[in-house]
Amino acid sequence: MIKVHHKEAFERISDERRNSILNAGIEEFAQHGYEKANINVIAQKAGISIGLMYKYFKTKEDLFITCVDCGMSHLDKVLQNIMESDDKLLIKAEKLIRATCSHSRKNKNYIKIYNEIAGEKNAARSKMLANEIESRTSALYIDAITTALEKGDVRSDLNPRLFAFFLDNLLLSLQFSFTCDYYRERFKIYYGIDVNEIDDEEIVTQLLKFIESAFTFEKKKSSEDKK
């Protein structure tokens, strides 16, 4: 959970009001970005006064961070269930791809906020968010790949930390392709069809082949390499 400068008053309100504020905040930040998002508009859409909003959140940044944490927590639960299971790594990879497609289609505003974080101009906030959010995912991926390496389920010459980074980059790009204009256009340029017009099964099948080749096809040593 990302630390913010409020919490007590916000956590005491009803679930209905809390959800109204978070939904309004997520929508505003997703549509306009952090800098242009208007906390007055968020308060209005949530059905509360601006004074009450500032009682719950000391600053716009506190509200933004809370919205980010809310959005990421949904995906975190799914990732944790997948990565901490006893499935082999490639089974986990398949489930990750399916979850990424499903989550990205259903929760587009969350993905837009995540993209907003990736383009964050405030260096201190960017570093803080990266450490808080990416630390969760990286630990799950690194542990799963390390375990697979120890069991001999993947190629023996991989670096768990770098492969975790590369895997996350693939899934991150896929997430953005469903929602963010630039990434959607990139997908269309490469594949020829808008990502929202194709069956997820095609994405799952092809990306899984790509990941499988990276994790399992180990280069055979030549006679020169053995010397």
Average pLDDT along the chain, 227 residues, taken 10 residues at a time: 61 91 94 92 96 93 89 83 93 96 91 82 80 87 96 95 96 93 95 93 96 86 54
The Cα–Cα gap between 25 and 37 comes to 9
**Superfamily of domain 8-217, CATH level 4:** Tetracycline Repressor, domain 2 (1.10.357.10)
The number of residues in the chain equals: 227
The pLDDT value recorded for residue 222 is 56
The Cα–Cα gap between 173 and 168 comes to 9
The Cα–Cα gap between 139 and 129 comes to 16
Residue type, 32: H
The Cα–Cα gap between 172 and 47 comes to 34
Q: What are phi and psi of 83, to 5 degrees?
A: -75, -25
